[in-house]
């Protein structure tokens, strides 16, 4: 479980990223976080991962306290959290398999990663992760030769190879075309359902949030202003979260 108790994050320049957030995310839940740019979505994810320090309040992931954790404790917490980014963050000049195995890096000495000397078990785990996202045939392709959707799948496989209990995705489909975005969201949903990995996804398209969010959390000015199901998150709710009328840019597909 991920638990935030009255968590406030104040950046060094004085900007408030999170403002007294109380949140409990039970194991295995698929949560979509929505809100306008600057609402605090990325801050929430980076705080859960310990990349941004908590200014006040307490934050725990699987009963490990992230707020106030030492570097060593943070490494242990992060080894259980898979991260997915809008820009994929792959090492482009190396193979898909190398990228995926690097997801297990906390277990692997640096010199083996440098030389690409992977054990049979590591490769096996790499293949299994690639199979989960349906691109095992690309294992020995250079990451730079893949489409955006394929690169995001590799990034998901890399996170899976870590054997995480939590998956955090910061705008994972913002750089993808609509059909590819749908497919990547379906991959994340299937993995959540099959493996029970707690998943938190930041999105700004309300139709995707409705379709995929078992739970939708709306943020505004660093605060949680809505917490309900995708079905409950109708246009009026989104207008309240966004503080304005909806526009065509708020949906991924025109028909939504
Ligand atoms: N490193 C930082 N230093 C100072 N302020 C920051 C930093 N990162 C974010 N902020 C500020 O914190 C607030 C929340 O930003 P955050 O990036 O979490 O929002 P967001 O909802 O993810 O928006 P976006 O989708 O644009 O990333 C904003 O006012 C932002 O300017």
Which residue's CA is the closest to the ligand 1 atom numbered 3?
Answer: 11
Structure tokens at 34: 């929505």
Mutation test of ligand 1: which of 8, 10, 15, 21 has the most ligand atoms closer than 8 Å to its C-beta? 15
**Residue positions counted in the chain:** 256
| pLDDT value of position 113 | 61
Q: Which atom of ligand 1 sits closest to the CA of residue 39?
A: 21
Give pLDDT, residue 256.
41
Is the shortest distance between the CB of 101 and ligand 1 below 6 Å? no
Ligand 1 centroid, distance to 18 Cα (angstroms): 9
What is the pTM for the complete model shown? 0.93
Ligand 1 center to 130 CA (angstroms): 32
**Domain locations in the chain?**
31-49+78-250
Block means of pLDDT (10 residues each) for the chain, length 256 residues? 97 97 97 94 96 96 91 91 92 90 70 70 92 94 95 96 95 93 95 97 92 95 96 90 88 67
Question: Please, what's the b/e burial string for 96-132 (b: 16 or more CB within 10 A of its CB; e: otherwise)?
Answer: bbbbbbbbbeeebeeeebeeeebeeebeebbbebbeb
Q: How far is the CA of 37 from the centre of ligand 1 (A)?
A: 8
Output the pLDDT for position 122: 86
pLDDT given for residue 109 in this prediction: 63
Strands of the sheet containing 166-170, edge to edge, are: 81-85, 166-170, 198-202, 30-34, 215-220, 223-228
Nearest Cα residue to atom 11 of ligand 1 = 17
Q: Kindly report, residue by residue over 116-139, the tens digit of the pLDDT.
A: 677 888 889 999 999 999 999 999
Q: Quick check: CB of 39 below 6 Å from ligand 1?
A: yes
CATH architecture of 31-49+78-250: 3-Layer(aba) Sandwich (3.40)
66 in the Ramachandran plot: left (φ > 0), alpha (ψ -120 to 50) or beta? alpha
């Amino acid at each position: 479980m991920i638990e935030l108790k009255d968590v406030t994050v104040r950046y060094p320049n004085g900007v408030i990223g999170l403002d007294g957030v109380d949140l409990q995310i039970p194991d295995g839940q698929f949560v979509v976080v929505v809100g306008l740019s600057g609402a605090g979505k990325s801050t929430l994810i980076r705080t859960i991962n310990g990349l941004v320090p908590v200014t006040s309040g307490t934050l725990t992931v699987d009963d490990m306290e992230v707020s106030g954790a030492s570097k060593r404790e943070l490494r242990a917490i992060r080894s259980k959290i898979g991260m997915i980014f809008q820009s994929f963050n792959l090492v482009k000049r190396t193979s898909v398999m190398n990228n995926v195995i690097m997801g297990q890096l906390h277990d692997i000495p640096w010199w083996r990663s440098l030389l690409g000397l992977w054990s049979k078990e590591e490769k096996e785990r790499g293949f299994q992760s690639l199979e989960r996202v349906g691109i095992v045939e690309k294992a020995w392709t250079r990451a730079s030769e893949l489409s955006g959707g394929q690169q995001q799948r590799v990034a998901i496989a890399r996170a899976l190879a870590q054997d995480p209990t939590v998956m955090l995705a910061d705008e994972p489909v913002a750089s993808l075309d609509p059909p590819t975005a749908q497919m990547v969201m379906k991959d994340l949903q299937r993995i959540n359902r099959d493996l029970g990995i707690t998943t938190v996804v930041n999105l700004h398209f309300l139709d995707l949030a409705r379709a995929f969010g078992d739970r939708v959390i709306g943020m505004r000015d660093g605060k949680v202003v809505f917490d309900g199901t995708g079905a409950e998150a109708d246009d009026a709710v989104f207008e309240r979260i966004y503080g304005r009328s909806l526009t065509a840019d708020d949906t991924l597909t025109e028909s939504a």
